[in-house]
Amino acid sequence: MTEEQTASPWRGWGWLTPHRANIAIVLILFIALPPLTARAMPKWFTGTTTLVFCKAVAIAVAAISLNLLLGYAGQISLGHAALLGFGAFTSGVVTSKYNLPMYVGIPAAALISAGVAFLVGLPALRLRGLYLAMITIAFGFAMQQSVFRTNYLSGGSAGIALPRRVINENDLTNNADFLVVALVLLLIVWLIDVNVVRTKLGRAFKVIREDEAVAQSFGVDVTRYKLTAFVLSGAIAGIGGALYGHSVGFVNGESFGLDSSLLLVIMVVVGGLGSRAAVVTAALIFTIFPHVMETLFPRLLGWHLIIGALLLIFTVARNPGGFAGAMHEARERAEKLRRRAEEDEIEDAGALPKLPSLPRPAGLADRPTADVPIVLHATDISVRFGGLQALSEASIEVPRGKIIGLIGPNGAGKSTLFNAVSGLVRAETGNVTFLGEDITALRPDERARRGIARSFQNIGLAKSLTVLENFLLAQHQVATYGTGTALLYSRRGARIERELGDRAREAVEALDFTRFLDTPVRNLSHGQQRIVEIGCLLVTAPELVMLDEPSAGMSPGAAENLAVRLADLRDELGRTVLLIEHNVPMVLDVCDEVYVLDHGEMLAHGLPAEIAQHPEVIGAYLGATTVGVAP
């Protein structure tokens, strides 16, 4: 039992942990406070003012939905208000035409909007940036001009009523009472969003936002998680749209235009991409502010859009992370200054810590073992990029328990061969066999789950995440719970997350990086980032470790020490390594066999001593002088 649990006043209640107690308190406050406030201070909280708060809470829910998609997963949506529209019209049809209660209409709204978001998300599998933005704008405009004007959905241009029906003909007419419903739904959405962030869902979304290739190398199915982000965002947007419709009591096709989508984007960007609390605060302010202006300065009504646009321009120009990001960056700058001397001392020392030696995770216990002598066999791999033949029938074989080096001049095709083996590029010809299984047709994330771990020249980590979060991300393939478990954060999901956290902390401690546990990776030096990357590769005990120029950017002392750590990988940890490296003396010193690529063709293969004396290799890569080999 932790010190926090021991000191908790709830310890005698058994099931009532501090976390659950906090939720219970917030629920009680959300249920009791709004009616009490409206009745105790009627001059301050009139029916009109409370209605404004109802609308503000609905928009806050919508902002959370866009923040999940744009702030976490990095998928832009400039027609997001259309998803709110589907939610509002769906709940309107359910409550108005079928006379069913709100607690049927709002879930139906979430379901329909999630289905529409799935269809909108399909183009995102191939498009990004400006092209995806154009698709979402076209979607929003088309829905406003066509679907939202159909007779069944909205009664044509007349629109549709959204009664606050509870049961039969009983409606929730008091705005304060409806505010309770809105606040409870906001709390539920808030908790779902919290669960997204602290589970493998949020980590997968964030690494996809930074680099899809890195995400795939960690075993993340990019296609699946992109669509999941759209579906979750759509469901929450549907709830927000339904809440908005029931707040105002009536919607039509003009209620969810492109101006509403733009305002949502402004709220998320100005508040701070990825910052839930800041986004909700921005949504509340942007919704309540026009009401305040109308009351105090009626002549300035409508200027809130201009002010919002100016804030957006200022934020993009000065603080792309929004106000929350600006505050976070200020704290990070102070932290960097505090740690700079310590980090410089570590870099100058040149001594890399011992790499973590962890047993194979239980979820990967079914991998083939030492009965397969050849871990990797890539045969006749050819890759063409347009008119450039990057690889031409290149073959390589990696025996178990060996370090195999791959060298060659710049542009020789080394990284292309790595990408073909790991699945990031599609080979024109050839086959890739891993542990006796043909994996040529498998996606990169599927190859990663079979035991291929690779690094990247530019550090294959999610640099906005902390060191601990990256080690959790590296275990994505063994987080064996589903999306529903993640959203509810059930007992099983919480147990698996604790196990992943324990394993991650053990690996970080082995690297002697405990002091950097909660430090964003981008705040570490290049050498420290490389150490974290290699540690993440090893946390799942992979069958094959592929290192792409691991000594790049390291000091001479650290690069020399890296050779010792690579030998430890083979001799002490029993790992099989395929190594790309421009530090030729290190390759010849540490590798068991060496392959040489030149102009996309395999020039030579042999023992390091043979490669060092090979005439064609000397002429093509090593130069006129023979490179000595350590005995």
For residues 478, 481, 482, 484, the Cα torsion angle rounded to the nearest 10 degrees is -150
pLDDT for res 11? 41
Task: Give the confidence band of 372 by pLDDT, cuts at 50, 70, 90.
Answer: confident
Residue 587 scores a pLDDT above 50:
yes
Residue 349 scores a pLDDT above 80:
no
Say how far apart CA 594 and CA 611 lie, in whole Å.
Answer: 7
What pLDDT, in 10s, does the model give residues 391-435? 999 999 999 999 999 988 888 889 999 999 999 999 999 999 999
Residue 282 scores a pLDDT above 60:
yes
Contact present, 361 and 348 (Cβ < 8 Å): no
What is the value of pTM for the model shown?
0.85
What pLDDT, in 10s, does the model give residues 439-498? 999 999 999 988 999 999 888 999 989 999 999 999 998 898 999 999 988 889 889 999
Token pair 């832009």 is at which residue?
Answer: 76
pLDDT for res 164? 92
Say how far apart CA 419 and CA 413 lie, in whole Å.
Answer: 10
Contact present, 354 and 569 (Cβ < 8 Å): no
pLDDT for res 627? 44
What percent of the chain shows pLDDT beyond 70? Answer: 79
Task: Give the confidence band of 591 by pLDDT, cuts at 50, 70, 90.
Answer: very high
In this structure, the strands spanning 250-251 and 160-161 are antiparallel
Residue 388 scores a pLDDT above 80:
yes
Bigger pLDDT: 169 or 537? 537
Residues 502-519 have a mean pLDDT of 89
Task: Give the confidence band of 28 by pLDDT, cuts at 50, 70, 90.
Answer: low
Task: Give the confidence band of 3 by pLDDT, cuts at 50, 70, 90.
Answer: very low
List own/partner pairs for 291-299 with CB under 8 A and 24 or more apart. Answer: 291/49, 291/52
DSSP secondary structure string for all residues of 346-393: HHHH-PPPPPP--PPPGGGTTS--TT-SEEEEEEEEEEEETTEEEEEE
Bigger pLDDT: 551 or 471? 471
Contact present, 554 and 367 (Cβ < 8 Å): no
pLDDT for res 193? 94
Token pair 């809440």 is at which residue?
Answer: 243
Residue boundaries of the structural domains of the chain:
25-257, 371-451+542-631, 464-539
Which backbone phi and psi does 347 adopt, to 5 degrees? -65, -45
Bigger pLDDT: 264 or 582? 264
pLDDT for res 201? 95
Task: Give the confidence band of 277 by pLDDT, cuts at 50, 70, 90.
Answer: confident
Mean pLDDT of the chain: 82
Residues 577-595 have a mean pLDDT of 90
Residue 169 scores a pLDDT above 90:
no
Residue 8 scores a pLDDT above 70:
no
Please tell me the least confidently modeled range out of 277-286, 499-508, 532-541, 559-568.
559-568
CB-count exposure of residue 57 (10 Å: 0-12, 13-18, 19+): buried
Residues 2-6 have a mean pLDDT of 37
- Report the Cα–Cα distance between both ends of the chain, in Å, rounded: 54
**Which range scores top for mean pLDDT: 227-241, 345-359, 519-533, 608-622?**
227-241
Tell me which CATH homologous superfamily contains domain 371-451+542-631: P-loop containing nucleotide triphosphate hydrolases (3.40.50.300)
pLDDT for res 402? 93
Residues 3-21 have a mean pLDDT of 45
Say how far apart CA 443 and CA 439 lie, in whole Å.
Answer: 9
DSSP H helices, 67-160, are: 81-92, 102-121, 130-145, 151-154
Task: Give the confidence band of 350 by pLDDT, cuts at 50, 70, 90.
Answer: very low
Q: What is the DSSP letter of 440?
A: T
CB-count exposure of residue 594 (10 Å: 0-12, 13-18, 19+): buried
